[in-house]
């Protein structure tokens, strides 16, 4: 996936889990990149991925102001969630991103990784 990063923020694991619980279990909320495969992921499966995430604060990367990539686990066993414009999760992430940006205006100047955010 090309890097069109246009911003980012951290989301608390508990907040992301609560957000996913608002969708019916079989609702496609994102695409998952697991290894090198890209496929649809429903809310129930996505919740399981978030549960298994080792971070309490999860990096969310904005792509071209049109999508978000949620970094649940990086190499060697990468699991990322891609939330595109048609996904119902996008608007919720955009609201959290705006709130984060207002509360942390200098954050992107010293961008942190998941491991720094613990």
The whole-model pTM stands at: 0.83
**pLDDT, position 108:** 61
* pLDDT tens profile 18-64: 999 999 999 999 999 987 889 999 999 999 999 999 999 999 999 98
Q: Where are the domains of the chain?
A: 5-101
- The closest alpha carbon to 12, from 4, 23, 20, belongs to 20
**For 5-101, CATH number?**
3.10.150
SS3 98: helix
Between CA 31 and CA 118 the distance in angstroms is 25
Q: What is the pLDDT of residue 77?
A: 84
- Tens of pLDDT along 63-118? 988 999 999 998 788 899 999 988 989 999 999 999 988 998 876 654 444 444 44
Lay out the sheet containing 57-63: strands in order across.
Answer: 5-12, 57-63, 67-73, 79-83, 28-34, 37-42
């Amino acid at each position: 996936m090309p890097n069109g990063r246009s911003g980012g923020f951290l989301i608390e694991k508990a907040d992301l889990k609560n957000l996913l619980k608002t969708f019916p279990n079989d609702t496609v909320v994102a695409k998952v990149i697991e290894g090198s495969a890209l496929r649809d992921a429903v809310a129930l499966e996505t919740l399981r991925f978030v549960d298994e995430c080792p971070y309490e604060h999860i990096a969310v990367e904005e792509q071209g102001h049109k999508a978000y990539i949620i970094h649940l686990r990086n190499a060697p066993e990468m699991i990322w969630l891609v939330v595109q414009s048609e996904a119902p999760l996008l608007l919720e992430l955009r609201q959290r991103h705006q709130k984060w940006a207002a509360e942390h205006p200098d954050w992107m100047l010293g961008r942190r990784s998941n491991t720094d955010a613990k």
